[in-house]
Amino acid sequence: MAHTHPAVASLFGKTLAALSKRAKARLSTAELPITFDQYVLLAALSDTEAPTQSDLADLLGRDKSAVLRQIDHLEEEGLVTRVADPDDRRKKTLVLTRSGSQVHAKARALVESIMGEALHGISSQDIQTLTRVLTRIQEALQQPVK
């Protein structure tokens, strides 16, 4: 079995917290009507064709009621709309509005800028290694618990 490194978990947490803090500050400065967590939802909506709230919660590994509250807020802001499925009226899919797409594009540019700052000075080889390692970790964590 591989050696465990408790510092890795701490580094993950601290890195995610630093990225989130920087993104929150930039989103606030840019006067975008979303939080970083809501940006993540908009990005998932942008990358997924007509998901339901449940699909989105599963995709992001988040609590369904928390996603519901965020979607409610995004809908109030006019960034997302719920569309009834023609075959099953109980099922509603989520779609970005034109305004939602514009906000998402601006927020994505900010997040890409932050990632550029975070990765500045790191070689492309190290970034490729990091990407491979993070992908392996994600795949391992998606395996059923034994």
- Provide the pLDDT for residue 1: 45
Whether 82 and 94 have beta carbons less than 8 Å apart is answered as yes
What are the pLDDT digits (tens) for 65-124? Answer: 999 999 999 999 999 999 888 888 788 889 999 999 999 999 999 999 999 999 999 999
Query: What φ, ψ does residue 59 adopt, rounded to 5°?
Result: -60, -40
What are the pLDDT digits (tens) for 28-64? Answer: 888 888 888 899 999 999 888 878 888 888 888 889 9
Maximum Cα–Cα distance for the chain, whole Å? 52
pTM of the complete model:
0.79
| Alpha-carbon separation of residue 138 from 2, 9, 85, 127 (angstroms) | 16, 13, 32, 16
CA dihedral 105, 25, 17, 130 (to 10 degrees): 50
